[in-house]
Amino acid sequence: AQSVAQPEDQVNVAEGNPLTVKCTYSVSGNPYLFWYVQYPNRGLQFLLKYITGDNLVKGSYGFEAEFNKSQTSFHLKKPSALVSDSALYFCAVRDTSGGSYIPTFGRGTSLIVHP
Amino acid sequence: DTGVSQNPRHKITKRGQNVTFRCDPISEHNRLYWYRQTLGQGPEFLTYFQNEAQLEKSRLLSDRFSAERPKGSFSTLEIQRTEQGDSAMYLCASSLAEGADTQYFGPGTRLTVL
């Protein structure tokens, strides 16, 4: 079974400050992990993914995420937040041992960047 | 635009009516997925196709829902006898069957059942 948790419904950060959006997961085997961003009334846009290898993954728009196997986490980070980063962020996990191609998505975290 | 497209973007219907949504995936992608998203939730998987074959359906998918992908290209999702609880955003995604199978999403169809 696979599951993912985003423990914060909302994250508030001032423009120019670093941001972190948290994600933890549970899988039986090894995980594929994904981050997506959703703007109002739009579909999800792919930001980045972890498959294997380097624990620090770089993605679109200056975002990066760190895979931590011991803590089963995949937190999304950005060194300097922009007001335009304000959106809904979703973490997703797929268990590579399950044989299914279907990821499980978290409930989402609303990021609000204040000017 | 070579991304995933969905039509219509918005649909308002009365309870009991049938509705059909269309999804056009990225042209070289052979996998196509349908999800439902309600306010405050992440996307919930409904069904997926590899080429024209429907390979997996969620237990959440009632028999009022049916999906097709007749030629392995575009797909349609039909909801019969709509209920107010069907009101949601319906998302389509496509992927290339390799590696991590990264899914790329369309803009969604927002359904409102009155």
pLDDT bin (cut points 50, 70, 90) of residue A26 is very high
Of A34, A43, A101, the CB nearest to B106: A43
Which one of A102, A109, A110 makes the best mutation probe of the B interface by having the most chain B beta carbons within 10 Å?
Answer: A102
The proportion of chain A whose per-residue pLDDT surpasses 90, expressed as a percent, equals 83
- Summarised one tens digit per residue, pLDDT across range B67-111 is 999 988 999 999 999 999 999 999 999 998 777 778 999 999 999
The proportion of chain B whose per-residue pLDDT surpasses 70, expressed as a percent, equals 98
Interatomic CA distance for residues B75 and A92, integer angstroms = 24
DSSP class of residue B3? Answer: S
Q: For residue A42, what pLDDT is reported?
A: 81
Average pLDDT over residues B34-44: 93
Pairing of strands B10-13, B5-7: unpaired
pLDDT bin (cut points 50, 70, 90) of residue B114 is very high
Residues within 8 A of A (CB atoms), B 29-88 only: 31, 33, 40-45, 48, 56
- State yes or no: pLDDT of A71 exceeds 90: yes
Residue A1, classed as helix, strand or coil, is coil
Interatomic CA distance for residues A55 and B92, integer angstroms = 30
Question: What does the mean pLDDT of chain A come to?
Answer: 94
- State yes or no: pLDDT of A103 exceeds 60: yes
Q: Is A24 left (phi over 0), alpha (psi -120 to 50) or beta?
A: beta
C-beta atoms of A108 and B41 within 8 A: yes
- By CB atoms closer than 10 A (0-12, 13-18, 19+), residue B97 is exposed
What DSSP string describes A11-64?
Answer: EEEETTS-EEE--EEE-SSPEEEEEEEE-TTS-EEEEEEE-SS-SEEE-GGG-E
Interatomic CA distance for residues B9 and A41, integer angstroms = 9
A111, A91, A115: which is closest to A20 by C-alpha? A111
Interatomic CA distance for residues B30 and B65, integer angstroms = 22
Joined tokens for residue B85: 């609880």
Furthest-apart CA pair in chain A: how many Å? 45
C-beta atoms of A103 and B103 within 8 A: yes
- State yes or no: pLDDT of B1 exceeds 70: no
- By CB atoms closer than 10 A (0-12, 13-18, 19+), residue A42 is middle
C-beta atoms of A107 and B106 within 8 A: no
Closest approach of A47 to chain B, Cα-based (Å): 10
Q: For residue A112, what pLDDT is reported?
A: 97
What single letter denotes the amino acid at residue B87? S
Q: For residue A40, what pLDDT is reported?
A: 84
Pairing of strands B65-68, B53-57: unpaired
- Summarised one tens digit per residue, pLDDT across range B59-74 is 878 899 999 999 889 9
